Amino acid sequence: MSWELLDKSSSLQVRGRLVEISPGWGYPAGYTGTKYSIRRVGNRYHFSVKSYSGNFVEASKLPKGILKAITKYKPGFSGTMRIRWNGDTILAPRNDEPPLYIGKMIYHEGGEKLFPGLNLKQDVGKMCLYAGPQSAMDIGEPWSVPARRGNIRPRLTRRFRVDGVRERINTYTEHLELTSFAIHDLDAFEGKRFYFTNFGQIVSPVTLTHFRLNGIDLGDEIQKLASQQLDTAVRFSMNRIERTNKSFGRPWVMFVVGNVEDYGGPQPDLSGGVEYDLSDENARRSEGD
């Protein structure tokens, strides 16, 4: 039940060519992925994940190699980090510096249960209630199947703000099967938001209409988590149900709908150059977020 950060390069398409990104370099695709915290309190480091502000859970152990990487590439760092669906691990930017790539995260047997009461990689035979964070800012890398207009499909898209200015970026990867799933299983003709977690889970906010379309009972889903002793996941889910009921008048809950093994992982179109400002912190919120 452990994670391990490898001192290993990654690669991205930038300006039409494959560029190798070594640990210690700025990450061309910005600060994106599932959000975690690595903080030093006294002489001890804590690794945690949260679902909304203050609602967090601490890992049973630190990922192997993470302190070595921080010492080597960002001495004294204490703060948040994001991990992409392909394992790329990125420290939060500081003092107008770009987000910092520090290596590839891999997961050993049982690693999906590193955080007590959560399961970050569920087997998806059908849609199921996500047993991880339920907050849009923390759950994973946000991309949307776009509306029919605009000729973007089958690529994915996202909008974000930089210095108050709205910008858009699309993927260069194509996701025809995920687009088809959004249209036919989620009735999302005008677009649908998905989140790609560091375990490759594809998660989306769904509500009563989607439950009916897919024969899902939300109460049964909560009971399934409880029966697996995923008490933290139950707490996160109930918290989201209460929040969204209050905000939207109905529950919007994060459900797992698939994995990148089935639908492919998204990569941003960096044909115009690096996008250090492509931060999940600045992503435009979507319906149900």
Query: Residue 270 pairs with which residues in a beta bridge?
Result: 14
Q: What is the dihedral of CA 217, 253, 258, 125, to 10 degrees?
A: -20
Helices (H), 169-263: 176-185, 208-213, 218-227, 231-248, 260-263
- pTM over 0.85? The answer is yes
* pLDDT (tens place) for every residue of the chain, 289 residues total: 799 999 999 999 999 999 999 999 999 999 999 999 999 888 899 999 999 877 889 999 999 999 999 999 999 999 999 999 999 999 999 998 999 999 999 999 999 999 999 999 998 777 999 999 999 999 999 999 998 877 899 999 998 877 778 789 999 999 999 999 999 988 888 889 999 999 999 999 999 888 888 899 999 999 999 999 999 999 999 999 999 999 888 899 999 999 999 999 999 999 999 998 888 887 766 655 5
pLDDT for 289: 54
Q: Is the bond preceding 133 in cis, omega lying within 30 degrees of 0?
A: no
pLDDT attached to residue 288? 54
The per-residue b/e assignment along 107-118, b for 16 or more CB within 10 angstroms, e otherwise, is beeebbebbebb
